[in-house]
Amino acid sequence: MLTLKVITEKTDEVLRGLEKKHFKGAQEAIDKVLELDKKRRTAQNELDKNLAEVNTLSKSIGKLMKEGNKEEAESARTKVSEIKEGNKALETAMNEAAEELQVLLCTIPNLPHSSVPEGYGADDNKVEKMGGVTPELPADAVPHWDLCKKYDLIDFELGVKIAGAGFPVYKGKGARLQRALINFFLDEARNAGYLEIEPPYVVNAASGYGTGQLPDKEGQMYHDNQDDLYLIPTAEVPVTNIYRDVILTDNELPVKNCAYSACFRREAGSYGKDVRGLNRLHQFNKVEIVRIDKPEHSYDSLKEMIAHVENLVNKLELPYRILRLCGGDMSFTSAITFDFEVFSAAQQRWLEVSSVSNFESYQANRLKCRYRTGDKKTELCHTLNGSALALPRIVAALLENNQTPEGIRIPKALVPYTGFDIID
């Protein structure tokens, strides 16, 4: 969440940033933050003043008693009791203001970086780079959902029977392709210096709040009411929460973690071709990369993460483009996001396969993730994460773009992992 220091010292800048993100009610929210902070500080100052007076009076009582001034001593005791009674009301007012302030701060999104373009949605995102070669498909080329049925790779109907729409069943070479991609992505991350983590697939509410899924996306997460646990929407949540309430040292930064996990999302979207097959699922597999870094180095880390994802799509021989998201299309917690999309030749459309984001200190402030500087002070870290990569649309593009009359060709980089070079 935003720090009070930023809101109070750079109020106009904060309001401009929230406007770029199209946050409704920004002025009212910031005015309320300033009001609650003033109320909290006023109560705190009055408490401090009263406590100092109580301390002085308490010291004087013993002296007065020794001097035989019992009447004055009793008067001082009465005064102390009155002040302490008044302090209870001040403490209540201060705590209520602090609690209301904390809840309100959690509803205000992160500020966008200055390089984030203006805009309301996907049509306003800026294409930063394009790469790869778009394949020329045979005249009888078909989308991946038909290829999955033809080669018995993924059974969508069986998934509906077992769990419901959005939970496909992978079979034979389809399952092996999933496992191959996961291992390929993890090996590439390890070779790039990321420490592999195997996290839980459920998190508590504190973890959801720490990374910003709660309260913003509560309705999009599967929730177990009995144990108050949430199925993770991405490995970012448990991995980043490793560093909740942690003070790191200089030599521990940057932290570089990667993790494979299944991901669960209740909001799978609308109906139609845009969500057919693997295009949008309730459960899918993904490898995530997470970094914790110093503020002065986090944008270098962001560049390295973008280059890492670009290397993956190049090795998979997929045509791609990199988008710089506009203010209106960014997530609640992000300061800047770059999306990777691959081109699906059979569907003739771009499919998002990765988001790489820098959250700056927004998540770290919620997590209380800090590092100790050279002069022994503690500062908030910057947190970053990216998909490297999400499997469903990668699989969709691989199947569609590599279909031939003989079968579906496997990219060279994946063959050592699949154990086969063609699906026929």
Binding site membership for L-serine: which residues?
A: 234, 265, 288, 385
Cα separation, 214 vs 395, in Å, equals: 30
CA distances from 23 to 6, 26, 116 (A): 17, 6, 15
Which residues sit opposite 131 in a β-bridge? Answer: 320
Judge whether 50 and 82 are in contact, CB under 8 Å. no
Element containing residue 50 per DSSP (H, E): helix 26-66
Smallest Cα–Cα separation from 352: which of 360, 340, 370, 343? 340
Supply the DSSP symbol for 108. S
Using CB atoms within 10 Å of the CB of residue 168, give its burial: 0 to 12 exposed, 13 to 18 middle, 19+ buried.
buried
3-state secondary structure 236-269: HHHHHHHHCCCEECHHHCCEEEEEEEEEECCCCC
Binding residues: 234, 265-267, 288, 352-355, 385
Binding residues for ATP: 265-267, 352-355
CA distances from 98 to 36, 93, 207, 276 (A): 7, 9, 21, 47
Which tokens in the block code for residue 417? 């992992």
Smallest Cα–Cα separation from 56: which of 74, 80, 72, 78? 80
Say if strands 336-344 and 349-360 run parallel, antiparallel, or are unpaired: antiparallel
Strand arrangement, sheet containing 247-248: 247-248, 370-372, 378-380
